[in-house]
Every structure is written in structure tokens, then in C-alpha cells.
């Protein structure tokens, strides 16, 4: 039994348990004891995989950040008019948020008390900045309104997109990633007013 | 000195200190000891004003909720086409968020562990519902697009507006309540795309 149990605990499953506990109790409020109980393995078994909870946090936010930055390297995010690249990025951001919901939720809740948290905040700012540049380029090409300051617009658009982690639950009640991405793209680019 | 100090502690100043500490440490993470230290008065002096931290939480979220619900009773929110009433409400929500920043921040962070928190969540849902009704009415009057489901649109618009508490700081660097309200109204109703 013990051997079987150990076998089922890959670093990957430990990570997904840790992310769930971090999101429930907050990273600061989570001890190795909590992780050990939630994973159903001893603390020393956890230390067999990682140096401690900060490494689990780093791996978790890395996963979310890699997915987000990955979007910017995808072909449709790199070629074409800026406004179209921006729309592609907005839709894909919604996709990543939903596909990696617990990981992105954790990333968005990071507050900056440890080195890993400060690094994650820095990377988030870098990502925001890359999207803001795309918005600037779209404004320069005349496709995006010029009467809302780019930094402010970026913050508001991120506010809308990031809020998805607060309410989206993959409960199969019909609203899929595509529906949410369509709604976000319509609101971000055309607003509520009837076309 | 002691007398003078007591004089300066009205229930109102105690409340504003409590809200700051709740926002910094989280409501669950705040003890009467923390409040006593932050306020610079003894715990028994605090108990002279309130029955405990839950009463402070209730007063704080009440203040935010009263301001938000108050918007719906204002004349421009009650008469005219629904889309215009909705725009008025959106702009005033931004105004209340900024004017009552710490109080609304606390309200938005409430998670629901105590009776007061569950009550606050219930009132928030009620407010969201009232705004969703306005959006439905605007759709019925043909002024708002029909291809984004009302509940989803309401969530996304609230997501954008509520995100303001995450980054807005009243540091006088030029961006006032009016600028933010204009930007939000433009994005919510017309989107990023150049008119």
C-alpha cells in the first residue's frame, strides 16, 4: 500500500494538491502540515520532491506564467495588424485562465512577501507591459480609440479578464471557454452598445 | 494625554483604522490585539465602542453597501432609457469605489466565514442583480447588444469596475475619479475599437 501510494505521488499531483490548498488557505496561511494532510503523504515524502512550500509556489506560478507568455510567441500574436494580434491575445488569455484556472488564480493572488512572490509580480508586470505595447501599436495604427490612456485601458481590460477566476467554475453548465472568450472579445473591442 | 487621546477616538476613526488593518492582514488574520495596537488604544477602550471585530466589519461593509445601493435611488438611475440609467450607475459606481476605496476594497474581499460576511455577500449579489436587471432592460429596449448573455456581461463589467480597487491609489498623480469614470464608461459602452 505504501509503495502504491508513493507511486501515485508524482511531483505533478503534489503540485495540483498544493495549488488547491494555497488557493483555499492563502499561501501565507499554508504550512507543510496542511500540505501533508491534504496530499495524504508525510512531510518527509513531500521533502523528497521539493525543498519546501516556496518551491511548490514557484512551480505553480511558473506554469501559469509560461502559458501566458507562450501566447505572445504564437504566430497570430506576432504577425498582422496590432489590433488583430491584440484580439488574438485577449481570446487566448481567456483560454489560458480557464484551462489553468487554479494556477492562474494563485498567480493573481500573489502579494509579494517572499522572493518567489516578488519575482512572480515582476513577471506579471512584464506580461501586462507586453500587452500594453500591443495596445499602443494598435492605437498608433489608428484601429483603437485614442481617448483612453493606454496604461489605464490595459488595467481595465486585464481587470475584466482576470475577474474570470473569481466566478468561472468548470461545472459543465453550458458555458465553455469559447463562450467566455467570445463575450470578452465583444465587450473589450465593441462594448455593450448595439453595433 | 490619556483623556485627549480618548477624545480623538470617535467610533468613526476607530472604524477607519480597523478597515485599514483588515485590508492589510485580512479579516480572519486580524485580532483585537492588532486593532488595539494599530489604533493606539487599549482593547477595553475598543470594547467601549463596539462588541468586537465583527461589528467593525459590519459597519465598514454597511458603509460601502449603503453608498452603492444609494446610487440606485438617485434620480438619473431611476428615470429615462435603461441604457442611460445604466451608464449613470456605472459612472457613479466608479465614483463610490474611489471615494470609499478602503471600504469597498474590504467589501470585495469578504469571503463568507461569519454571519456578517455571508450577509455582505448576499447584499453584493443583490446589488449585482439590480444592475443586471438594468442591463436586461437596456437590451429589451434595443440599446444594448443581445449577443452577450446578460449575467455574463454583468460579471465582466463588474470585473472591470471592481478591479479599480486593486490598482487605484489616490496619490494625486493626475488621474482623478472623473478620468477613471470616463475611461470605464467608454470601454464598457463602446469598447476599444475606434468609433
Using 50, 70 and 90 to split pLDDT, how confident is the model at B4? Answer: very low
Of A193, A85, A64, the C-alpha closest to B82 is A193
Q: Count CA atoms closer than 13 A to A43's CA, side-chain side.
A: 6
Q: What is the DSSP letter of A193?
A: B
- Are A104 and A31 in a shared domain? no
CA distance B73 to A125: 39
Assess A174–B contact: CB distance below 8 Å, yes or no. Answer: no
Count of domains forming chain A: 2
Shared-domain flag, residues B90 and B116: yes
Q: Which residues of B touch A147 (CB under 8 A)?
A: 186
Is the domain of A44 the same as that of A79? Answer: no
B35-40 contacts, C-beta under 8 A, 24 or more apart: B39/B9, B39/B13, B39/B14, B40/B5
Q: Do A69 and A95 belong together in one domain?
A: yes
Q: Let me know whether A134 and A183 are in one domain.
A: yes
Contacts of B121 in chain A (CB under 8 A): none
Do B45 and B78 belong together in one domain?
no
- Contact call for residues B29 and B40 (beta carbons, < 8 A): no
Closest among B159, B185, B107 to A191, alpha carbons compared: B185
Write out chain A residues lying below 8 Å of B135, CB-based.
Answer: 192
Q: Three cell numbers at B135?
A: 442591463
- Give dist(CA B25, CA B42) in Å, integer: 19
A70 and A27 in a common domain: no
pLDDT band at B51 (very low <50, low <70, confident <90, very high): very high
% chain B with pLDDT above 90: 82
Q: Indicate if B39 and B68 belong to the same structural domain.
A: no
| Alpha carbon of B46: minimum distance to chain A alpha carbons (Å) | 27
Evaluate whether residue B195 is within a structural domain.
no
Q: Does residue A82 fall inside a structural domain?
A: yes
ipTM (interface predicted TM): 0.90
Beta carbons of B191 and A189 less than 8 Å apart: yes
Selected residue with higher pLDDT from B37 and A176: B37
CATH code where residue B45 lies: 1.10.10.60
pLDDT digit string (tens) for chain A, length 195 residues: 444 455 566 778 999 999 999 999 989 889 999 999 999 999 999 999 899 999 999 999 999 999 999 999 999 999 999 999 999 999 999 999 999 999 999 999 998 889 999 999 999 999 999 999 999 999 999 999 989 999 999 999 999 999 999 999 887 666 889 999 999 999 999 999 976
pLDDT at B3 > cutoff 60: no
Give the CATH number for residue B77.
1.10.357.10
Same domain, B70 and B165: yes
Q: Give the model confidence (pLDDT) of B159-189 as tens digits.
A: 999 999 999 988 766 688 999 999 999 999 9
The answer to whether residue B56 sits within a structural domain is: no
Name which residue leads in pLDDT, B9 or B5. B9
* E strand spans, chain A: none
C-beta atoms of A148 and B187 within 8 A: yes
Residue B147 lies in a domain: yes
Optimal mutation site among B190, B191, B195, interface A, most CBs of chain A within 10 A: B191
**Predicted pLDDT of residue A2:** 46
**Whether B46 contacts chain A with CB within 8 A:** no
Phi then psi dihedrals of residue B6, to 5 deg: -60, -40
The residue range of the domain holding B35 is 2-50
Backbone angles phi, psi at A169, to 5 degrees: -130, 125
Phi, psi of A193, deg, nearest 5:
-65, 135
Q: How far apart are alpha carbons A46 and A11 in whole angstroms? A: 9
| CA nearest to A160, candidates A192, A130, A133 | A192
Q: So what's the pLDDT on residue B1? A: 42
Closest Cβ–Cβ partner in A161, A167, A192 for B188? A192
Q: Specify the pLDDT at position B79.
A: 95
Put simply, the answer to whether A152 touches B179 (Cβ < 8 Å) is: yes
Q: According to the model, what pLDDT value does residue B174 have?
A: 66
Check CB contact of B174 with chain A, cutoff 8 Å.
no
Report the C-alpha gap between B72 and B78 in whole angstroms: 7
B25/A contact by beta carbon, under 8 A: no
B156, B176, B177: best mutation site toward chain A, by most A Cβ within 10 Å? B156
State the maximum Cα–Cα separation within chain B, in Å, rounded to a whole number: 65
Q: Is B99 on the interface with A (CB under 8 A)?
A: no
User: Among A166-170, B2-6, B52-56, B83-87, whose mean pLDDT is lowest?
Assistant: B2-6
For residue A195, is it within any domain? no
CA distances, B33 to each of A192, A194, B5, B21 (Å): 48, 54, 18, 11
pLDDT value of residue B112: 83
Check whether residue A105 and residue A160 sit in a common domain.
yes
Residues A90 and A186 in one domain: yes
Under DSSP, the state recorded for B144 is: B
Determine, for residues B160 and A164 on separate chains, whether the beta-carbon distance falls below 8 Å.
Answer: no
> How close does chain A come to B62, measured CA to CA in Å?
22
Kindly state the cell numbers that stand for A84: 488583430
Residues B46 and B15 in one domain: yes
Mean pLDDT over the full length of chain B: 92
Report how far residue B120's alpha carbon sits from residue B163's, in angstroms, rounded to the nearest whole number: 19
Å from B168 to nearest chain A CA?
10
Contact residues on chain B for A195, CB-CB shorter than 8 A: 145
Amino acid at each position: 500500500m505504501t509503495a502504491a501510494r508513493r507511486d501515485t505521488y508524482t511531483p505533478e499531483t503534489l503540485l495540483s494538491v498544493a495549488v488547491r490548498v494555497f488557493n483555499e488557505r492563502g499561501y501565507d496561511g499554508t504550512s507543510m502540515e496542511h500540505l501533508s494532510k491534504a496530499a495524504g503523504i508525510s512531510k518527509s515524502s513531500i521533502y523528497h520532491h521539493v525543498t519546501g512550500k516556496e518551491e511548490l509556489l514557484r512551480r505553480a506560478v511558473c506554469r501559469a506564467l509560461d502559458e501566458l507568455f507562450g501566447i505572445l510567441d504564437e504566430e497570430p500574436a506576432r504577425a498582422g495588424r496590432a489590433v488583430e494580434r491584440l484580439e488574438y491575445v485577449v481570446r487566448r488569455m481567456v483560454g489560458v485562465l480557464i484551462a489553468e484556472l487554479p494556477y492562474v488564480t494563485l498567480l493573481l493572488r500573489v502579494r509579494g512577501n517572499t522572493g518567489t512572490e516578488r519575482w512572480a509580480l515582476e513577471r506579471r508586470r512584464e506580461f501586462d507591459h507586453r500587452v500594453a505595447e500591443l495596445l499602443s501599436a494598435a492605437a498608433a495604427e489608428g484601429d483603437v480609440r485614442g481617448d483612453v490612456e493606454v496604461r489605464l485601458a490595459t488595467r481595465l481590460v486585464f481587470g475584466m479578464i482576470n475577474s474570470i477566476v473569481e466566478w468561472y467554475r468548470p461545472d459543465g453548465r453550458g458555458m465553455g471557454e469559447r463562450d467566455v472568450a467570445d463575450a470578452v472579445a465583444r465587450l473589450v473591442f465593441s462594448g455593450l452598445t448595439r453595433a
